[in-house]
């Protein structure tokens, strides 16, 4: 299963980025024929108001189970560790490439199987959290990102509507005593930006966000960040902030990606394909710090047979370029799925698996430390166990601070 996970993850993202690169090197007609649906957009029926009450619409729901792909851990990962007292909402990337449909159906076996493998590869740094929620959604097909036809935007809007419905269900059923960590990758981060604009910015909910990991999709400092409701993370001991990065080995050629993203408007409606983008160094938790490979606590590296994965400390360094790309030094041996231009998009999370895991715990702890009735260090683990939900939904407290009473 792990072998298939790593293979499918790389293959699928190669298709995505390869399609984006095709906009630069291939004729537009060939690109559209290969990836973009030729049929008109037919909106699917809206989901029922309680649709996400169905466990089948979640890859991972709350506490999950041992069979939950999001609960997988690589060789070398800690088997015993304190539960991080937070609820994570993770939006998976594109796993639908069918040019006969603008959006995947919720029962699309192929898209769901690939998405489940994505969850195993990308959501696992977050699985120390008390709750981890990963919804299925009627994601837009790859071709929606490769066209300026209105159908592409309609497909993305339809996918976002499902993500928003899942998020509203998450808010209603996740333990309200826990802070929230938002996370995504590629199409998931594309939707996460809009969700933050509509559900976080200027809302009381902003105070509940411990961190937002908007990874694998550019966040324009000028056209996106001001509308997302939280500042950029500038230091490791900070909560209520946004992290984002796009990984490249050196020498980095980012021209393809810049060309591909240029036609997408920012959250302010303006074109935002021009740098600078937000770049967080996952080894330091800041924007511009340079970190050597000795700061890397563990990269998730697949074995030669692609039959498993192991954590390897000290593999790559990291620094942010002036344009906002994360540079990781000479190309490391991660497997066959490095993309043109030394683009390590496939490995945005695996390159820094252990550091991301530690970063989540640190920012959640900082969030708790800024709350009233701060628990003592000796009571933190007991409190985490106290709030960990069971299969039955816990009674919701009358006060947010009931957790520490």
Q: Nearest 5 degrees, angle CA 385-CA 391-CA 394?
A: 65
- pLDDT, average across residues 141-156: 87
d(C-alpha 58, C-alpha 54), whole Å: 8
User: In this predicted model, what pLDDT tens digit does every residue of 40-73 receive, in sequence order?
Assistant: 888 888 898 899 999 999 999 998 776 788 888 8
Residue 273 has pLDDT above 60, yes or no: yes
Instruction: Band the pLDDT of 2: cuts 50, 70, 90.
Output: very low
User: In this predicted model, what pLDDT tens digit does every residue of 209-252 receive, in sequence order?
Assistant: 999 999 999 999 999 999 999 999 999 999 999 999 999 999 99
Give the pLDDT score at 376: 44
Asked if 138 and 154 count as a contact pair (C-beta separation under 8 A), the reply is no
Residue whose pair of structure tokens reads 């939280």 in the numeric block: 230
User: In this predicted model, what pLDDT tens digit does every residue of 317-355 receive, in sequence order?
Assistant: 999 999 999 999 999 998 887 888 999 988 999 999 999
Asked if 183 and 215 count as a contact pair (C-beta separation under 8 A), the reply is yes
Q: Nearest 5 degrees, angle CA 192-CA 161-CA 90?
A: 35
- pLDDT, average across residues 74-84: 88
Q: What is the 3-state secondary structure (H, E, C) of 15-49?
A: HHHHHHHHHHHCCHHHHHHHHCCCCCCCCCCCCCC
Residue 8 has pLDDT above 60, yes or no: no
Asked if 19 and 31 count as a contact pair (C-beta separation under 8 A), the reply is yes
Residue 404 has pLDDT above 50, yes or no: no
d(C-alpha 33, C-alpha 309), whole Å: 37
Residue whose pair of structure tokens reads 């966040």 in the numeric block: 219
Instruction: Band the pLDDT of 304: cuts 50, 70, 90.
Output: low
Give the pLDDT score at 157: 94
Averaged pLDDT of the chain: 83
Give the pLDDT score at 160: 97
- pLDDT, average across residues 25-44: 66
Percent share of the chain, pLDDT over 90: 56
Residue whose pair of structure tokens reads 């550019």 in the numeric block: 218
Give Cα separations from 289 to 160, 230, 263, 316, 362 (angstroms). Answer: 34, 20, 30, 15, 18
Instruction: Band the pLDDT of 208: cuts 50, 70, 90.
Output: very high
Domain ranges of the chain: 2-404
Tokens, residue 75: 């060789």
Residue 198 has pLDDT above 90, yes or no: yes
- pLDDT, average across residues 103-119: 88
Give the pLDDT score at 363: 98
d(C-alpha 296, C-alpha 247), whole Å: 14
Comparing CA positions, the residue from 138, 136, 2 lying closest to residue 69 is: 2
Residue 388 has pLDDT above 90, yes or no: no
Tokens, residue 76: 């070398």
Give the pLDDT score at 97: 78
Asked if 215 and 346 count as a contact pair (C-beta separation under 8 A), the reply is no
DSSP state of 338: P
Q: Which residues contact 252 (CB under 8 A, 6 or more apart)?
A: 321, 325, 327, 341, 342, 343
DSSP state of 77: S
Angle, helix 2-25 to helix 109-122, in steps of 10 degrees? 100
Q: Which residues contact 405 (CB under 8 A, 6 or more apart)?
A: 373, 399
């Amino acid at each position: 299963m792990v072998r298939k996970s790593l293979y499918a993850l790389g293959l699928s993202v190669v298709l995505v980025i390869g399609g984006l690169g095709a906009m630069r090197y291939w004729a537009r007609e060939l690109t559209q024929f290969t990836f973009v649906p030729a049929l008109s957009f037919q909106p699917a029926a809206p989901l029922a108001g309680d649709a996400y009450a169905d466990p089948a619409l979640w890859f991972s729901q709350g506490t999950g189970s041992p069979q939950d792909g999001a609960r997988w851990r690589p060789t070398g990962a800690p088997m015993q560790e304190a539960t991080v007292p937070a609820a994570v909402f993770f939006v998976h990337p594109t796993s639908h490439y069918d040019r006969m449909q603008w959006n995947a159906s919720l029962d699309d076996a192929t898209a769901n199987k690939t998405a489940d493998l994505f969850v195993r590869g990308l959501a696992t740094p977050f699985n120390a959290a008390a709750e981890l929620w990963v919804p299925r959604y009627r994601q837009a097909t790859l071709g929606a990102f490769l066209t300026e036809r209105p159908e592409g935007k309609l497909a993305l809007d339809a996918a976002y509507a499902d993500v928003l419905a899942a998020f509203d269900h998450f808010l209603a059923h996740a333990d309200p005593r826990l802070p929230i960590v938002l996370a995504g990758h590629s199409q998931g981060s594309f939707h996460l930006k809009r969700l933050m604009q509509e559900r976080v910015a200027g809302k009381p909910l902003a105070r509940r966000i411990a961190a937002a990991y908007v990874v694998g999709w550019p966040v324009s400092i000028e056209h996106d960040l001001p509308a997302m409701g939280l500042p950029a993370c500038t230091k490791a001991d900070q909560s209520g902030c946004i992290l984002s990065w796009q990984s490249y080995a050196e020498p980095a050629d980012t021209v393809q990606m810049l060309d591909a993203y240029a036609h997408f408007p920012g959250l302010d409606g303006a074109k935002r394909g021009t740098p600078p983008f937000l770049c967080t160094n996952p080894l330091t938790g800041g924007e511009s710090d340079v970190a050597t490979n000795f700061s890397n606590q563990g990269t998730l590296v697949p074995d030669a047979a692609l039959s498993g994965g192991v954590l390897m400390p000290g593999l790559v360094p990291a620094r942010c370029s002036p344009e906002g790309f994360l540079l990781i030094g000479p190309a490391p041996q991660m497997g066959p799925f490095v993309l043109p231009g030394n683009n390590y998009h496939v490995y945005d999370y695996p390159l820094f698996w252990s550091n991301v895991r530690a970063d989540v715990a640190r920012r959640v702890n900082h969030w708790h430390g800024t709350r009233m009735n701060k628990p003592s260090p000796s009571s933190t683990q007991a409190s985490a166990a106290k709030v960990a939900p069971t299969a039955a939904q816990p009674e919701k407290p009358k006060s947010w601070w009931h957790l520490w009473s």
